Amino acid sequence: MRQLQSISMTLFATLMMAGLTGGCGGNKKADTTAAAAPADKSLYDRLGGLDAITAVVDDFVANVAADTRINAMFANADIKNLKAKLVEQICEATGGPCKYTGKSMKESHVGMNITEADFNALVEDLVKSLDKFKVPEKEKGELLGALGGMKGDIVTAQ
Ligand code: HEM
């Protein structure tokens, strides 16, 4: 997790510097990571790759399991499969090397009567994990934006 934190923070700082000043002044640590990292690195890389995404998903699913607002809906879920599919999905959606092999979001959630409140509760559980792992606001916003685009296929009840 240190790795996720430091890589994310370093890259976030690098991107900000590039955007604001067009250069890389200030931070002269003995660290070649930032210098080698292109500003257009994928979100997948900026998040810290597969290990970091897997750690976030593990923590996120634990939050969902403890969340009495929505955990009853997961009573019969195959948690191992759910975690694996979420990792694949996030990896692919953020520009990583994975291929999502699960069902479509429509198919996965059909008949579950998921409301916007349920959806928001799940997103809150994810944000808790992203904050715990100190994912910077920029990367957090990009990831939530990508997942937010799936809402129309998941929320089917009022
Ligand atoms: C951005 C939001 C969401 C994403 C990205 C997402 C993603 C997924 C994925 C990847 C699967 C597995 C598909 C497969 O097995 O092929 C799944 C299944 C499932 N999702 Fe979601 N989901 C979201 C929101 C929700 C919400 C809000 C709920 C309910 C509160 C929910 C409940 C479930 C349940 C119960 C399953 C089935 C698990 C099983 O039968 O093993 N999901 N979801």
Q: Note the pLDDT of residue 130.
A: 98
How many angstroms does the Cα of residue 48 sit away from the middle of ligand 1? 23
| Distance from C-alpha of 107 to C-alpha of 28, rounded to nearest angstrom | 50
Q: Is the CB of 86 under 6 A from ligand 1?
A: yes
Residue owning the nearest CA to atom 11 of ligand 1: 82
Q: Is the CB of 147 under 6 A from ligand 1?
A: yes
Best CATH choice for the domain 43-154 from the list 1.10.8.60, 2.60.120.10, 1.10.490.10, 3.40.50.300: 1.10.490.10
Q: Is the CB of 144 under 6 A from ligand 1?
A: no
| Rounded average pLDDT per 10-residue block, the chain, 158 residues | 41 32 33 53 98 98 98 98 98 98 98 98 98 98 97 97
Query: How far does Cα 43 stand from its chain's mean position?
Result: 9
Query: From its phi and psi, is residue 49 left (phi > 0), alpha (psi between -120 and 50) or beta?
Result: left
**Does residue 158 sit in helix, strand or coil?**
coil
Minimum-distance ligand 1 atom for the alpha carbon of 85: 10
Domain boundaries, the chain: 43-154
Q: Note the pLDDT of residue 123.
A: 98
How many angstroms does the Cα of residue 82 sit away from the middle of ligand 1? 7
Q: Note the pLDDT of residue 39.
A: 62
Q: Could you tell me if 84 and 149 are in contact, meaning their C-beta atoms sit under 8 angstroms apart?
A: no
